[in-house]
Chains A and B, each alone.
Chain A
Amino acid sequence: QVQLVQSGAEVKRPGASVKVSCKASGYTFTTYYIHWMRQAPGQGLEWMGIINPSTGTTSYSQKLQGRVTMTRDTSTTTVYMELSSLTSDDTAVYYCARDIVRGDLTWFDPWGQGTLVTVSS
């Protein structure tokens, strides 16, 4: 079945970087874009950006531009999200999700299980 499996929880110091992976299986990796979202404790969801696994082309939220980098490895069907210059405001659960497109309509399905990133000194 279609599945996105993310890497485990991370604890980072302020100023450090974190790299979260999202391994795709059960479908043709290069056919579907992947989005990244995050959810701070007790908060709503924030869209971070999107990557085209076929070409590696990315688009990031303006808020995170310059700090976020999304990459992919087609040989392992894995996408990565790296966030730099971490602060306590970056403490959140990070999710990847597959982009489903029908005509010009789009939605996210499925989602990865989430990766908790804690930024603390």
Chain B
Amino acid sequence: DIHMTQSPSSLSASVGDRVSITCRASHPISRYLNWYQQKPGKAPDLLIFAAAGLQTGVPSRFSGSGSGTDFTLTITSLQPEDFATYFCQQSYNTPHTFGQGTKLEI
């Protein structure tokens, strides 16, 4: 199985800040990397697909980059509604594995 490691596991920030979350795969996965946002008690929502594709309706302050084993989710100018948990997920092969999550807190 491909192991996905996110860092940091938690992050404190303020409205207006720029933050980055990294995700590292234990095996090269090209661009087969997606990012999801999850708010408490809710299902995950797709943010970024194929490492850098912005899902329809997601604000442009979210961006993704990377290829191979190292990937980054960047949020510029944090808004109050961005405080949530973020997961990366590889779709290179099955089982589709997820990172352990990064909790973004005020």
Contact = CB atoms under 8 A, between A and B. Distances in A.
Interface residues of A, number: 24
Contacts of B49: 100, 102, 105, 107, 109
Interface residues of B, number: 23
Nearest to A99: B91
Main secondary structure, interface of B, reads loop
A45 B43 contact: no
Interface in A79-117: 95, 100, 102, 105-114
A6 to B, nearest CB: 9
A45 B50 contact: no
A111 B98 contact: no
Most A CB contacts (10 A, CB to CB) among B32, B49, B50, B95 go to B95
Contacts, number: 60
A47 interface: yes
Contact of B98 (A45, A50, A62, A109): A45
Contact of B44 (A46, A100, A105, A111): A111
Interface string B38-72: 00001111100110000100000000000000000
Q: Sort A-B residue pairs by CB-CB distance and give the 7 closest, nearest first.
A: A111-B43, A107-B49, A45-B98, A109-B46, A47-B96, A107-B34, A106-B91
